[in-house]
Each structure stands twice: as structure tokens, then as C-alpha cells.
Amino acid sequence: MARQSAREQGKQGIAQAANVYNSVAHGMSQSQTALFQGLQAIQREALNFVNRRLEHASDLMREYRNCRNMAEVVALQQRWLMEMSQDYYRQSMRLAEVMGSATSDELEMAQETGRELRGEVAEEGRTRQRRGQSRRRHNQQGGSLASHSATTH
């Protein structure tokens, strides 16, 4: 009887461990998905930025052809430098926003997985505690029956 109970407890322990590992694996999968999506967003932003800068450079070349003197060339270069610095500033802010969003999503997934795992571990603890209490009551009842039976014989 004790052997069967130990076997059942072992099976339950294995099933509970499998549940915890499945939760961890699921959380990791979600985390990887969020990370991948964040990296894709950063890549899209970088490509969009490069395309915009190439368009600006192309526009600049067209405008160079229309310059009639050195003053116009210098003015065009100054405008180009100003626009370029503004573009780089805006792009860095946009990338920071995208990275912050991706990191936030990743952190949220990790926190959710942590909460799920804590809940499962707490439930496991309560289950073990109930089993232990049940065993103690069973043992106490068995012990009192044995002492009662010994005194009546």
C-alpha cells in the first residue's frame, strides 16, 4: 500500500514538474517572439531611414545642378547638414521608442511567465501541504486504532 502511494506521488510530482517546464518553455517561446518582432521593427525603421536619406541625397544632387555660384553651393550644403542632423536626431528618438517598446513587451512577457510559475509553485506547495496533513491524520488514526486494538486484546 505504501509502495503504491509513493508511486502515485512520484507520478504526480513528474506531472507537476512537466507542467512547470511547459510553462517555462511557453514563456520562453513568447519572449523569443516578442524579441523577434522588436528586432524586425528596428530593422524596418533602419531601412526606412536609409531610404529617406538616399532620397535626400538624390534631391541634393539635383539641386546642386541648379546652383549658379559658390554662395548657393555653400547654402545648399548648410541646409543639407542641418536636415541630416535633424533626420539623425529624429531617427535616434524613433529607434529608442521602438527599442523601448520591444523591451517593454519582452519584460511584460517575462513578468507574466514569472507570475504563472509562482502560481504553479504555490499551488504545488499547497497540494503537498494538504497531502502531508492528510497523511498525518491517516497515520494518527492508524496509530490510535492500533493502540485501541492493543488495549482491547
Q: Which long-range contacts (CB under 8 A, 24 or more apart) does 6-10 make?
A: 9/131
Q: Is residue 145 part of a domain?
A: no
How many domains does the chain divide into? 1
CA-closest candidate to residue 53, choices 42, 65, 45, 43: 45
Q: Is residue 94 part of a domain?
A: yes
Q: Is residue 74 part of a domain?
A: yes
Written as one letter, the residue type at 7 is: R
pLDDT value of position 30: 76
Whole domain around residue 21: which residue ranges?
A: 2-134
Q: Is residue 139 part of a domain?
A: no
Q: Is residue 151 part of a domain?
A: no
CA-closest candidate to residue 44, choices 99, 109, 116, 122: 99
Q: Is residue 149 part of a domain?
A: no
pTM for the full model? 0.56
Give the CB-side neighbour count of residue 30, counting CA atoms within 13 A.
Answer: 16
pLDDT (tens digit per residue) in 12-63 = 777 777 777 777 777 777 778 877 888 898 899 999 999 999 999 999 999 9
Average pLDDT over every residue of 61-75: 94
Q: What is the distance between the alpha carbons of residues 125 and 120, in angstroms, rounded to a whole number?
A: 9
Which position has the higher pLDDT, 147 or 71? 71
* Contact between 49 and 90 (Cβ < 8 Å): no
Per-residue pLDDT band for 150 (boundaries 50, 70, 90) equals low
Q: What is the distance between the alpha carbons of residues 17 and 55, in angstroms, rounded to a whole number?
A: 57
Q: Is residue 148 part of a domain?
A: no
Q: Is residue 142 part of a domain?
A: no
